[in-house]
C-alpha cells in the first residue's frame, strides 16, 4: 500500500468531522505538520491510519452537574471527561473549572496530554475533563457542593487502572480534596484515583511545585545545551496561579530576576524583581484570599497594567503560565523586538501558531507545552506509583526523579528535533511523543 497523506487533506477531514472546534483544530495542526512528514518515512503508521485514529478520542462523557448555591437556588452546569487515548497507560490528565470551558478546549487538552504523557516515559494515557462551572466568587461551601455533585457522576467512569484525574485551571488542592473525599465515599475504596491529593491522604511531595519547577528545569537544559545558563537573566511570567507561582519560585532560586506576574485582569511589573517575600505574598493572595494581582501593585508600589499582558516588557526569557493563546502574533513580535531569547510554555498552548512560527524565524528557543510543562503530570505519575506501592518517597527522591524526567524529555526533543544543526524543540516533542503511542496502537491491531 502506498501512503501519501497531505496536511491540507488531513486537516480538511478533521475540520469537517469536528466543526467549530477551533482550539482542537489548532492543536492537531501543530502536531500534524511535524508528524505527517515523519509518517511518510514509516509506512506502517500510515497504513494503520495512526494519526487519523489518534485524533479521535476513545470516548467522551458529558453529564449534568446540579448543585445548590448559598441562597438555596438550584444551579446546573455541564461536566465532561474526554478519555482520549489509553494505548500506553490509563487515561491521565487534569480537570478544569472555567466558565468558558467547552468541548473544543477539552479535546485540544486531551490530545496534547496524550503526547505529553508519552514524553514523560511513564505508562500514562491521555485524558482531560472539567466543567463550565465558574469558581470565581463562590464560597467554600459552594465549591464543596459543586465538587461533590461533579464526582457523584464522574466516579463511575474513573479508577486507579482506568482514568486518574488531577487539577488544572480552577482546580487546586482544595477542589481535588473535595472530589477525592466524595470518590472515596462512593466507591468505598482508598486508591490513587486522583492525583494532587494532600500529603496526609496519599499525595506526593513536590506535586504542587512540579509543573513550575519542571518548566524551569527544561529551560535550564535548553540554555545549557547551547552554552548558556539561567543565572543573571531576566524573566517575564504570566499568570499567578499554581504553575506561575512555582515557576517564579524556581527562577528566583536559580538567580533569575522575575519582572512580571498577571491574572486575567492585568499584570504587575516589578523592576526590582519578585523576591521570596513578595512571592509568599502572591501565594497567600491567590491561594488563601483569592484576590487579584492588582493588590500586589498597591502593596509593593509597583506598576500595574490593567487589561494588558506582560509581553510588552523587555526580558531575556518568557514563561507563559496562564492559558491558551495568550501570546498572539503581536505579542510574539513585541517579545522578539525586545530581545527575548527563549520561551517555555508553562500553560497548555499559550503561544498561537503564528507566534510559534515567528519564534522559529527569529531563532528563539521555544519549548512547547507538551515538553515544558510535563513535570506536573510526571509527578502525578509518581504519586500513582507511590499509591500502588503503599509507600512514600521523600522530597529529595521525587525532585531527583523529576529532574531525570525533564532531562529525558529534553534529550528526546534533541533526538527527534535536529534540523540543520539546530534543535527544533516543537518538532522533537511532537515526534518523540508520537512514536510510543503509535507503536502501541500498531501492536494492538485494528482497534
Q: Report the nearest approach of ligand NDP to the CB of residue 220 (Å).
A: 18
CB of 128 to ligand 2IT, least distance (A): 7
- Cα–Cα distances (Å) from 111 to 19, 54, 135, 434, in that order, read 17, 8, 25, 11
| Dist CA 198 CA 257 (whole Å) | 31
79-138 residues near ligand 2IT, rule: CB under 6 A: 92-94, 113, 116
195 binds, options ligand NDP, ligand 2IT, none, Cβ within 5 to 8 A by partner type? ligand 2IT
Distance CA 323, CA 334 (A): 19
Q: How far is the CB of 99 from ligand 2IT (least distance, A)?
A: 18
Q: Is 421 exposed, middle or buried (0-12, 13-18, 19+ CB in 10 A)?
A: exposed
Choose between 126 and 315: whose C-beta lies nearer to ligand 2IT.
126
* Cα–Cα distance list, 207 to 20, 119, 186, 293, 394 (Å): 35, 18, 25, 24, 12
Q: Residue 263 binds which one of ligand NDP, ligand 2IT, none, with CB within 5 to 8 A depending on kind?
A: ligand NDP
What is the distance between the alpha carbons of residues 164 and 88, in angstroms, rounded to a whole number?
Answer: 14
Q: CA torsion, points 43, 49, 51, 54, in degrees to nearest 10?
A: -140
Q: Shortest approach of ligand 2IT to residue 211 CB, angstroms?
A: 7
Between CA 131 and CA 113 the distance in angstroms is 18
Select the binding partner of residue 169 from ligand NDP, ligand 2IT, none (C-beta < 5 to 8 A, by kind).
Answer: ligand NDP
Give me the residue whose beta carbon is nearest to ligand NDP.
Answer: 241
Beta bridge partners of 82: 60, 128
Kindly report the backbone phi and psi dihedral angles of residue 234, in degrees, each rounded to the nearest multiple of 5, phi listed first: -110, 150
**Choosing among ligand 2IT, ligand NDP, none, which partner's interface includes residue 240 (Cβ < 5 to 8 Å by kind)?**
ligand NDP
Which residue among 310, 315, 376, 428 contacts ligand 2IT (CB under 6 A)?
A: 376
List of residues contacting ligand NDP (CB under 6 A): 167-170, 172, 211, 239-244, 263-265, 321-323, 326, 346-348, 373, 376
Residues 190-209 that bind ligand 2IT (CB under 6 A): 195
* Interface with ligand 2IT (CB under 6 A), residue from 208, 380, 386, 424: 380
Number of Cβ within 10 Å of residue 322's Cβ equals 24
Q: Which three cell numbers stand for residue 10?
A: 488531513
DSSP state of 97: E
Residues 6 or more apart from 421 whose CB is under 8 A from it?
none
Cβ closer to ligand NDP: 45 or 80?
A: 80
Say whether 128 is catalytic. Answer: yes
**Is 166 a binder of ligand 2IT (CB under 6 A)?**
yes
Closest CB to ligand 2IT among 92 and 427?
92
93 backbone dihedrals φ, ψ, rounded to 5°: 165, 165
The listed partner (ligand NDP, ligand 2IT, none) that binds 436, CB under 5 to 8 Å by sort, is none
Chain mean position to CA 43: 31
Q: Which is nearer to ligand 2IT, 268 or 322 (CB)?
A: 322
Could you say which of 128, 184, 278, 286 is catalytic? 128
**242 binding partner (options ligand NDP, ligand 2IT, none; Cβ < 5 to 8 Å by kind):** ligand NDP
Q: Nearest residue to ligand 2IT, using CB?
A: 94
Q: Which is nearer to ligand 2IT, 34 or 168 (CB)?
A: 168
Residue 92 binds what, of ligand 2IT, ligand NDP, none (CB under 5 to 8 Å, by partner type)? ligand 2IT
Nearer to ligand 2IT, 93 or 428 (CB): 93
Backbone angles phi, psi at 256, to 5 degrees: -100, 140
Pairing mode, strands 303-306 and 266-269: antiparallel
Q: Say which residue the cell 535536529 belongs to.
A: 418
- Supply the minimum distance, in Å, between the C-beta of residue 179 and ligand NDP: 15
Cα distances (Å, whole numbers) of residue 138 to 20, 146, 235, 264, 364: 31, 10, 33, 17, 41
d(CA 313, CA 236): 8
Please say which residue, 65 or 210, places its beta carbon nearer to ligand 2IT: 210
Catalytic residues: 128
Query: Which residues make up the interface to ligand 2IT (CB under 6 A)?
Result: 92-94, 113, 116, 166, 168, 195, 348, 376-377, 380
Amino acid at each position: 500500500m502506498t501512503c501519501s497523506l497531505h496536511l491540507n487533506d488531513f486537516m480538511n477531514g478533521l475540520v469537517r468531522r469536528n466543526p467549530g472546534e477551533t482550539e482542537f483544530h489548532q492543536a492537531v495542526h501543530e502536531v500534524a505538520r511535524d508528524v505527517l512528514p515523519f509518517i511518510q518515512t514509516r509506512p506502517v503508521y500510515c497504513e494503520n491510519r495512526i494519526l487519523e485514529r489518534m485524533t479521535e478520542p476513545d470516548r467522551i462523557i458529558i453529564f449534568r452537574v446540579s448543585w445548590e448555591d448559598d441562597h438555596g437556588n438550584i444551579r446546573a452546569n455541564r461536566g465532561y471527561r474526554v478519555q482520549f487515548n489509553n494505548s500506553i497507560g490509563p487515561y491521565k490528565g487534569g480537570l478544569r473549572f472555567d466558565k468558558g470551558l467547552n468541548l473544543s478546549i477539552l479535546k485540544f487538552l486531551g490530545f496534547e496530554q496524550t503526547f505529553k504523557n508519552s514524553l514523560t516515559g511513564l505508562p500514562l494515557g491521555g485524558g482531560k475533563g472539567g466543567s463550565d462551572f465558574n469558581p470565581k466568587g463562590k464560597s467554600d461551601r459552594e465549591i464543596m457542593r459543586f465538587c461533590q455533585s461533579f464526582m457523584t457522576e464522574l466516579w463511575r467512569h474513573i479508577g486507579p487502572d482506568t482514568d486518574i484525574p488531577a487539577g488544572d485551571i480552577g482546580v487546586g488542592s482544595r477542589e481535588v480534596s473535595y472530589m477525592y473525599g466524595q470518590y472515596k465515599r462512593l466507591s468505598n475504596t482508598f486508591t490513587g484515583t486522583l492525583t494532587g491529593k494532600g500529603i496526609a491522604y496519599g499525595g506526593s511531595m513536590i506535586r504542587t511545585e512540579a509543573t513550575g519547577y519542571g518548566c524551569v528545569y527544561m529551560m535550564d537544559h535548553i540554555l545549557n545545551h547551547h552554552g548558556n545558563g539561567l543565572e543573571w537573566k531576566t524573566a517575564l511570567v504570566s499568570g499567578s496561579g499554581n504553575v506561575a507561582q512555582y515557576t517564579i519560585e524556581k527562577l528566583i532560586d536559580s538567580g533569575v530576576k522575575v519582572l512580571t506576574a498577571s491574572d486575567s485582569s492585568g499584570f504587575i511589573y516589578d523592576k526590582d524583581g519578585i523576591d521570596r517575600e513578595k512571592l509568599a505574598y502572591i501565594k497567600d493572595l491567590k491561594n488563601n484570599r483569592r484576590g487579584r494581582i492588582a493588590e500586589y501593585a498597591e502593596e509593593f508600589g509597583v506598576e500595574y497594567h490593567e487589561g494588558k499582558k506582560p509581553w510588552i516588557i523587555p526580558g531575556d526569557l518568557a514563561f507563559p503560565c496562564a492559558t491558551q493563546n495568550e501570546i498572539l502574533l503581536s505579542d510574539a513580535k513585541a517579545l522578539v523586538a525586545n530581545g527575548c531569547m527563549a520561551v517555555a510554555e508553562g500553560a497548555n498552548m499559550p503561544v498561537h501558531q503564528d507566534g510559534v512560527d515567528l519564534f522559529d524565524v527569529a531563532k528563539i528557543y521555544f519549548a512547547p507545552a507538551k515538553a515544558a510543562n510535563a513535570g506536573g503530570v510526571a509527578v502525578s505519575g509518581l504519586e500513582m506509583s507511590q499509591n500502588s506501592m503503599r509507600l512514600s518517597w521523600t522530597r529529595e527522591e521525587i525532585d531527583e526523579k523529576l529532574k531525570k524526567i525533564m532531562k529525558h524529555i529534553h534529550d528526546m526533543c534533541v533526538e527527534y528535533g535536529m534540523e540543520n544543526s539546530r534543535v527544533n524543540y516543537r518538532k522533537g516533542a511532537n515526534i518523540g511523543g508520537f512514536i510510543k503511542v503509535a507503536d502501541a496502537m500498531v501492536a494492538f491491531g485494528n482497534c
